[in-house]
Amino acid sequence: LMMLTAQDHGVTDAQLETIRCALEESLRLSWKQPQITIDELLQDHAIEKHSELRSKFVVAEQLAPLLAESTNINGNPRIVKRLLNQVKMRKKTAHRRGMQLDEKTITKLVIFERCLGTQATNKLYELIDKEKGFPKVLAELENSEVEFDEIKLPEEWKLDLAFIDKWSKLPPMFTEVDLTPAAYLSRESIPMGAVNAVMSGAAQKLVEDLMKQKVRVSGVNSTAITTTPKEEYMSVMDGLIENFKLIGDWTERPTGIYGAVLLAKQDDKCCLSLLTFLKSLPRQRWLNPILKELEGTK
């Protein structure tokens, strides 16, 4: 993450190589000495906007454990790179429109989108709109005097409680921040109907393949799922659900539903996400056995 941040900042190739060597040396000797500090990493470097890069490194250091532990990122450098690109794009859009949004706020929201998916993100922005930019649940999560287990979280957020707890502790704190501009920027910066905009080409291909599945069992799609990185599964499920939302008539079982079930059986978060969506539909006879099957998988 430090390397990607430095590269994104625009350091020279020589400076990047020096930073890389210092980080590798620190990792190699981590068993017997403390890890290298940010100031040690940047010392003796005539880097442009030095203080700005230092600030970015501080944020990266805080984010690293969460990005490494989240099953939807799993420390995957390609996903992290796409996250940074998404942050960069939104920051440019905010600057162009004269919106007073700092990079840390944008980054924190992009991580939420990636790790919890479309339905949880839509719920967050719904709460921001409903509560005039200051969702009560975020204030409760950030309040050290309130027990996490006592907080009434939206159902859509219960996919990963450990993530929610850690994410809420990341700076900046949102309790006294009007998140209306940030929510507006997020909606404007991503394709309509596709909140999770950091999907790889492989994930997009898997969405297409699963949407074509007409039968309960597909060896080809089972193989496609197992060869796709697990950290992409939630993005794929989001893509499937967005396609399902375009369906107006649910009296007949749609093509692709078995593909979604196939993926749901491989990942608990995907299973919960699909269940949440299917339970919001008008009940149909063909749907009941699928719901029972997913409930048994959960």
> pLDDT tens digits for 181-233?
998 888 776 554 444 455 777 888 999 999 999 999 999 999 999 999 888 89
Whether 8 and 94 map to the same domain: the answer is no
Domain that holds residue 87: 74-198
Distances in Å between the alpha carbon of 232 and those of 177, 199, 242, 263?
31, 7, 16, 11
Does the predicted TM-score (pTM) go above 0.85?
no
Whether 65 and 172 map to the same domain: the answer is no
Number of domains making up the chain: 3
Six-digit token pair at 217?
């069992």
Six-digit token pair at 170?
């990341």
Whether 78 and 172 map to the same domain: the answer is yes
Note whether 160 and 114 are within 8 A (CB).
no
Which residues of the chain have a pLDDT value below 70? 44-45, 189-198, 297-298
Note whether 76 and 229 are within 8 A (CB).
yes
Whether 79 and 190 map to the same domain: the answer is yes
pLDDT number for residue 193: 43
Distances in Å between the alpha carbon of 78 and those of 44, 120, 154, 229?
30, 23, 30, 11
Last residue of a domain, one of 43, 69, 95: 69
Whether 83 and 63 map to the same domain: the answer is no
Whether 102 and 1 map to the same domain: the answer is no
Whether 193 and 90 map to the same domain: the answer is yes
Whether 189 and 89 map to the same domain: the answer is yes
pLDDT number for residue 198: 59
Give φ, ψ of 175 to 5 degrees: -50, -45
103: left (phi over 0), alpha (psi -120 to 50) or beta: alpha
Last residue of a domain, one of 69, 97, 120: 69
Pairwise CA distance, residues 60 & 74, whole Å:
15
Whether 181 and 254 map to the same domain: the answer is no
Whether 58 and 105 map to the same domain: the answer is no
Location of structure tokens 């794009």: 89
pLDDT number for residue 93: 87
Whether 174 and 260 map to the same domain: the answer is no
Last residue of a domain, one of 34, 69, 104: 69
Biggest alpha carbon distance in the chain? 70
Whether 168 and 215 map to the same domain: the answer is no
